[in-house]
Copies of this chain bind each other. A is one copy, B any other.
Amino acid sequence: MSRAVTIVDVAKLAGVHFATVSRALNPSTQAQVSPETVRRIQKAAKALGYVPNAVARSLRNNLSMTVGVTIPDLTNPIFPPMIRGIENFLAPRGYTALLANTDGRPGMEQSAISSLLERRVDGLIIATGLDDHVLLPRLFEQGVKVVLANRGGGSVPYPLVTGDDRSGIAMAVDLLKSLGHRRIVHIAGPDNFSTSRTRRDAMIQSCDEAGIACQVVSASALTAEAGEKAMDDVLSQRQSFTAVQASNDLLALGVLRSVRRHRLRCPEDLSVIGFNDMPFSEEFSPGLTTIHVPLEDIGTESARLLFERIQNGKNDSVLVRLPVSLVVRGSTGPAPKKQRV
């Protein structure tokens, strides 16, 4: 690219000092310049195809107008809506999001955050759902603005935005109970995800209170494949149960596949219920009954909290727990009279 046109070029053409160009082109200082001069400068800028250099501005202002967002994996369908929520809030305010995938690996998370910090993001939305790493306290100490999204609270007093997992699980248990189910299997996610633990514990508690027997099985990852494998294992054990509640929809999808392969009918032989209401869970066969989590809202709220903290310099803690709701579709039905499983 031939050398970019700068404020100095514009100044020459308009016949003013380059500082005046800066004032004229900046909304907040434009009033300091005479309207006539402003017009002249704008004309010159357009004529030359001037494009402001945000990098130089960032260096000078110590403000990059970017925020970093770390997620485990973009291809996990719960994240695109969250990210849209984040961008919908930030873009109109002049902010751009830098995305980093961590694949759930603490090492990658660390290097991703380092890279974002080097780029001098004004704040961070961490949605990796992993346990507190050593990094977090250090970030807090340094005054780095962070909002934690979609994960459980840790020891560090950063703001936190999640769906209401406990009440979601309670809704699921209620539904199953009202359908006559008395023995449920819970497919839990890996233990190092805070949501996995929260949902599992809530499940045990809700079932306990409802007088329902709950068997917990852990999947090795939050994927359909892991869910399928976990369900295969459960079915091979010939336990008796009439319903499965999975820690997320991807696991539930795996359960559905396993059930189909074992020639069981859902929901006639077995009810299945997920968590998240991820995009397209409606299209599974059968359509997945699940707990709807307002993913886009989680994104929007996280962005709002971060934005506020960047603006006012505070770093105070809040807990935003967004309400969830039950979505009943085809994968749940009355408990079978004669247990087929």
Contact = CB atoms under 8 A, between A and B. Distances in A.
Given A87-B101, A99-B99, A49 B80 contact: no
Interface string A49-66: 101111110110000101
Contact of A118 (B49, B52, B100, B143): B52
A22 to B, nearest CB: 15
A236 interface: no
Most B CB within 10 A of own CB, among A2, A58, A98, A143: A58
A120 interface: yes
Interface stretch (A162-170, A178-186, A210-218, A278-286): A278-286
Contacts of A284: 283, 285
A101 B59 CA distance: 26
Given A75-B81, A80-B74, A51 B117 contact: yes
Interface string A287-315: 00000000000000000000000000000
A53 B283 contact: no
A37 interface: no
Contacts of A79: 80
Nearest to A138: B49
- This chain's copy number in the assembly: 2
A207 to B, nearest CB: 28
Interface in A5-27: none
A59 to B, nearest CB: 5
Contacts of A98: 66, 96-98
Most B CB within 10 A of own CB, among A79, A142, A143: A142
Interface string A61-103: 0001010000001110101110110010001000011111100
A54 B120 contact: yes
Contacts of A41: none
A119 interface: yes
A55 B64 CA distance: 8
A253 interface: yes
A175 interface: no
Contact of A53 (B2, B99, B120): B120
A1 B100 CA distance: 23
5 contacts: A51-B117, A53-B118, A75-B80, A75-B84, A285-B285
